[in-house]
Amino acid sequence: MIKILILLLVAGNAMAIEEASFRVIADDGALEIRQYPPHVVAETLVQGEFKDVGNNAFRRLAGYIFGKNDAEEKIAMTAPVTQQATEDGYFVRFYMPAEHNLDDLPVPLDDAVNIFEAAGGVFAVLRYKGGWKQDSYLKHRDQLMAQLEQNAAWQISGEPTWARYNSPLMPSFLRTNEILIPVEPR
C-alpha cells in the first residue's frame, strides 16, 4: 500500500500540468486574495445534479482538447477545471494553455463547447484537500463566505467558483481544490 501511495505522489509530480496564472495581492494567513489576468477558456453549460455535471462537462471539454475540433489538434490539459452554478445549470471551464490565444485555437466540433477570453478579476480563495462531494464544497464555500463577512478590507462581488486541480485517479484525500469568490475593496 505504501509503495502505491509513493508511486501516486511521484507520478502526480511527474505529470505536472500548467496552472492558471495569478498574483497574490493579500494574504493574512486566513484569507488569500488573488488577481487573475484575463484568460482563454473552453466552457460548456451542463444541466443536472452537482455530482454529475463535472463528468458530463469533462467529456465535452476533453473531447475538444483531445482533437474533436476543426483542426483535429490536441491541446494540453491545464488546471484547474472550474465549475460555477447558474440559474440554467453549471458552467464548467478548462483554461487553455498560455501559449494559445483566441486566434490560434481550433474551432470546437461540439456546439456545446465555447471558446472565449474570460475576464480577469480579484478573488478571495480558500484552498483545501479532499474529495469532490457537494457537502465538502458547500462546507468550504460557507467557510470562505463567513471569513469575508468578517473581513474589513474585502467584500463579496460575485458568485463562487469551485476549482479542481487533480485527476480522478488521485486518491480523494490528496486532491487539491479551491473555492474562489470575486471580491472588491470595501
pLDDT in tens, 174-183: 999 999 999 9
| pLDDT value at residue 6 | 42
Q: What is the CATH number of the domain that holds 70?
A: 3.20.80.10
Asked whether residue 33 falls in the same domain as residue 124, the answer is yes
Q: Which of 165, 173, 171 is nearest to 8 (CA)?
A: 171
d(CA 65, CA 74): 5
Query: Is residue 7 in some structural domain?
Result: no
Instruction: Give 161's pLDDT tier (boundaries 50, 70, 90).
Output: very high
Q: What is the mean pLDDT of the segment spanning 126-152?
A: 95
Largest CA distance in the chain: 50
Structural domain of residue 113, as residue ranges? 39-117
Please give the single-letter amino acid code of residue 78: T
| pLDDT value at residue 79 | 97
Query: Is residue 139 in some structural domain?
Result: yes
| pLDDT value at residue 16 | 67
Position of cell 509530480? 13
Query: Which of 21-30, 63-72, 153-162, 174-183 has the lowest average pLDDT?
Result: 21-30
Q: 11 pLDDT exceeds 80?
A: no
Asked whether residue 43 falls in the same domain as residue 108, the answer is yes
Q: 46 pLDDT exceeds 50?
A: yes
Q: What is the mean pLDDT of the segment spanning 5-27?
A: 70
Query: Is residue 65 in some structural domain?
Result: yes
Q: 2 pLDDT exceeds 90?
A: no
* pTM of the complete model: 0.88
Asked whether residue 136 falls in the same domain as residue 85, the answer is no
Query: Is residue 1 in some structural domain?
Result: no
Taking only Cα atoms into account, the Rg of the chain, rounded to an integer number of angstroms, comes to: 17
Query: Is residue 62 in some structural domain?
Result: yes
Answer whether 179's CB lies under 8 Å from 156's CB: no
- Number of compact structural domains in the chain: 2
